[in-house]
Chain A
Amino acid sequence: MPSISRDEVAHLARLARLAVTDDELDLFAGQLDVILQSVATVGDIATADIPPTSHAVPLTNVFREDVVRPSLGQQQALAGAPAAEDGRFRVPRILGEEA
C-alpha cells in the first residue's frame, strides 16, 4: 500500500473543508498513514466473487403516504442558526473574489 504524504493529507483536509494547521498536518500525516496501512488488510480476503453489503437490513424504496404532516415553523427552524435575517438563514458570500 502506498504511504500517505503530508501533501495528500493537506489535500484531504481541503476536500473535507477542514482548515488544519501545519502542526496538525505533521501529526495527522503520521497517524493516517499508520491507520490506513492497518485497515488496508481488508483487501486480504475481499475477493472479486463476494458481493458488497452496504446495509444490514435489506430495504429498498421505503415509501410513505404523500400527506401533509406538521413540521418545524420558520422561527423554530431559524432558532439554532448562527445568523438569520428577514426570516432566512444569513450566510457569507458564496462566490470568491476572483470569480
Chain B
Amino acid sequence: MSDLIRSTAAELAARIASREVSAVEVTQAHLDRIGEVDGAVNAFLHVDTEGALKAAREVDDDIAAGAHVGPLAGVPIALKDVLTTEGVPTTVGSKILEGWVPPYDATVTRRLKEAGVVILGKTNMDEFAMGSSTENSAYGPTRNPWDLDRIPGGSGGGSAAALAAFEAPLSIGTDTGGSIRQPGAVTGTVGVKPTYGGVSRYGLVAFSSSLDQAGPCARTVLDAALLHEVIAGYDPMDSTSINAPVPPVVAAAREGANGDLSGVRVGVVTQFSGEGYQPGVLRSFEAAVAQLKQLGAEIVEVSCPSFDYALPAYYLIAPSEASSNLARFDAMRYGIRVGDDSTRSAEEVMSLTREAGFGPEVKRRIMIGTYALSSGYYDAYYGSAQKVRTLISRDFEAAFATVDVLVSPTTPTTAFRIGERTGDPLAMYKADLCTIPANLAGNAAMSLPSGLSDEDGLPVGLQLMAPALQDHRMYRVAAAYEVARDAAAGAPLIQGVPQLAGAAR
C-alpha cells in the first residue's frame, strides 16, 4: 500500500508544500486506491477524476510559482453528497435527485476549493441523511472497512468508510442527530459536529434546519482541526450562521498533544450507560476515562436527567422540520418527474414522483412530521418536544457550570450487521441515543476512537461535548487523549483496519 494514502493530511500538506511530492501524485494515489477498493466498500457515489486532477495541478502550479497556499492545499477530500457541487452530481442518496447537477457550490464546497483542498468525489449516505447505517441510500449500502458485512454508521457512512479504507485522508460529514459522530465511532475515525451555526448551511440540502450542521472528519484530531478551520466561519448566505471568530481549534489540538490535562474538569454523563449498552463499549469507555484521569483531568459524574427524553424529542422535531423542508421536492424545478402523461394534474404527478423518488424511511419521517404538526396533535407532540429541547439545554448549562467538557460513549454498540435493524425503525434510532442532545442544544461535540470492543474486536468511539463556541476545549482534550491512547496501544487504532480484499500492496 502506498505510504501516501496512509499519511495524515497534515503530513501530506507539508510534503506537498515543500515539493517533496506533488498534489497530482497524492491525488492520483487516492484515485487509484478508490479504483481498487471502492467496489467492495461503496463509499463513493461519484468520483470526479478530472476535476480532482485539475484542482491538484492548480495547487502544484501555485506552489511552483511561489504563491502562499493554505495549510491543507493539495490534500484530497471526500465530500458527503448532501453538499452541492457546481457541475458535479448531487443526489443526497435519493432517487428523487438522480442525475441532478447543481448550478452552484455550497459555501463549504467553495471554502474547500479556495483553500486548495482537492475534492475527489461525493460520498454515499442515508437518503436525505435520515438513518444510522447508510442502508437507506437509494444506491446501495456502504460497507464498514473493519468488517464488510457490517454497517459503517450513518447517515455519513460513506464519508467515514472512505477514511477507514484509506480512500481519502479527510472528508466532510453533516450531523443532524449524530451522522458525523456515530459513523466516526463505528469506523475508528474522528468526527466533529461543530457548534450549530459554526459552519455555513448554504448549499447543504436541508433535512432538519434547526439541527443540521456540517463538520470535519479525519483519521487524527489535528487533521480534523485543520479542516475545521478551513470550512468554519460566518457566512451571510446562512441566516443562522454565527457572526463570531472561529474557535481556535488547531492551536487547541497542538496544545493538547503535549499531553497535560491538569485543571481540566471532565464530566461523565451518568444517563449514558446501563441497559442497551454493549459491555465491551462500556469497558472501552471506562478505560478512556481512566486515561483522561492519568493525564491530569479531574473526573466527576454529572446527571442530565432530561437526556433520557432527547431521543423521542429528536424523532419528533427532525421529522417535523423534514416534512416541511422536503415539500420542495415537487417534481417541478429539479429532480425526477414521474407520470406526467399530459392528462394527470400537477398534484397527481407530484404524489407519484414523491412515491417513486423517496425511500421508506423518508416517507415514514415525512408522515410522522405531518402528523406531529397536525392541529389537534401539535401541542402533545411537536410542542412537547420543543419543551424537552429547553430542558436539555438547561441540563447542559447546569453541567457546564461545573465541568469543562462532558464525555460518554458515542453510540451504545459497535457496528451492527447489514440488515440487522432495517425492519425495526426504533432499534435503528437507538444508535443516536448519546449524540442527539448536542444537536438539540446546538453545542459542539465530537467522537474519536477509544479502542476496540473486547468481545467483537470492532471500534468504539469516545464522545466529547463542549459548550457552544467552545469547540477548542474538546479538541484539546481529544488531542491529549489520542496521544496517550496511541502510545499505550503501541499504534493508532486505524492501523488495525484489515487489508481489503483485492487491494494492491
Q: Which of B196, B334, B370 contacts A80 (CB 8 A)?
A: B334
- List residues of chain A with CB within 8 A of the CB of B400: none
**Chain A residues whose CB sits within 8 angstroms of the CB of B344 once the complex forms:** 92
Near A by CB (< 8 A), chain B positions 361-405 give 363-364, 366-368, 370-371, 380-381, 383-391, 393
The SS class assigned to the B binding surface is helix
- When distances are taken between beta carbons in the complex, the residues of chain B under 8 Å from A4 are 371
Tell me the bound Cα distance from A32 to B306 in angstroms.
24
Apart from the given pairs A36-B368, A45-B391, 5 other A-B contacts in the complex at a CB distance below 8 Å: A50-B390, A53-B440, A80-B334, A82-B332, A92-B346
CA distance A50 to B386 in the complex (A): 9
Q: How far is the CB of A61 from chain B (nearest CB, A)?
A: 9
Chain A 52-67 near chain B by CB (<8 Å), digits 1 or 0: 1111110100101000
* Residue B312 is within 8 A (CB to CB) of chain A in the complex: yes
B interface residues with partner A (beta carbon < 8 Å): 100-104, 196-197, 210-211, 236, 239-240, 242, 306, 309, 312-313, 315-316, 323, 327, 330-337, 340, 342, 344-352, 354-355, 358, 360, 363-364, 366-368, 370-371, 380-381, 383-391, 393, 425-426, 440-443, 468
The CA of A11 and the CA of B358, in the complex, are separated in Å by 18
Contact call B358/A41, Cβ cutoff below 8 A: no
In terms of DSSP, what is the predominant structure of the interface of chain A? loop
Q: In the docked arrangement, what's the CA distance between A42 and B323, Å?
A: 20
Interface size on A, residues (CB 8 A): 56
Bound CA span A15–B373, Å: 12
What is the distance, in angstroms, from A88's C-beta to the closest C-beta of chain B?
Answer: 11
The answer to whether A44 touches B309, judged by C-beta atoms less than 8 angstroms apart, is yes
Residue of A nearest to B352 (CB): A19
Listed from nearest, the 7 A-B pairs whose CB atoms lie closest are A56-B442, A52-B386, A82-B337, A46-B384, A46-B387, A80-B334, A39-B312
On whether A12 and B309 interact (CB within 8 A), knowing A17-B350, A52-B387, the answer reads: no
Distance in Å: Cβ of A28 to nearest Cβ of chain B:
6
B334 cross-chain contacts in A, Cβ below 8 A: 80-82
- Sample (14) of A-B pairs whose CB atoms are under 8 Å apart: A18-B363, A20-B355, A21-B355, A32-B371, A34-B425, A35-B315, A36-B371, A42-B316, A42-B381, A42-B385, A51-B387, A56-B211, A81-B334, A93-B345
Closest Cβ of chain B to A35, distance in Å, is: 6
- Find the residue from A15, A32, A92 having the highest chain B CB count within 10 A: A92
Contact A35 B368 (CB under 8 A): yes
- A21 neighbours in B (Cβ, 8 Å): 355
Pick the contact of B370: A12, A81, A82 (CB < 8 A).
A12
Contact (A28, B210) CB under 8 Å given A54-B386, A80-B335: no
> How many Å lie between the Cα of A82 and that of B383 in the bound state?
38
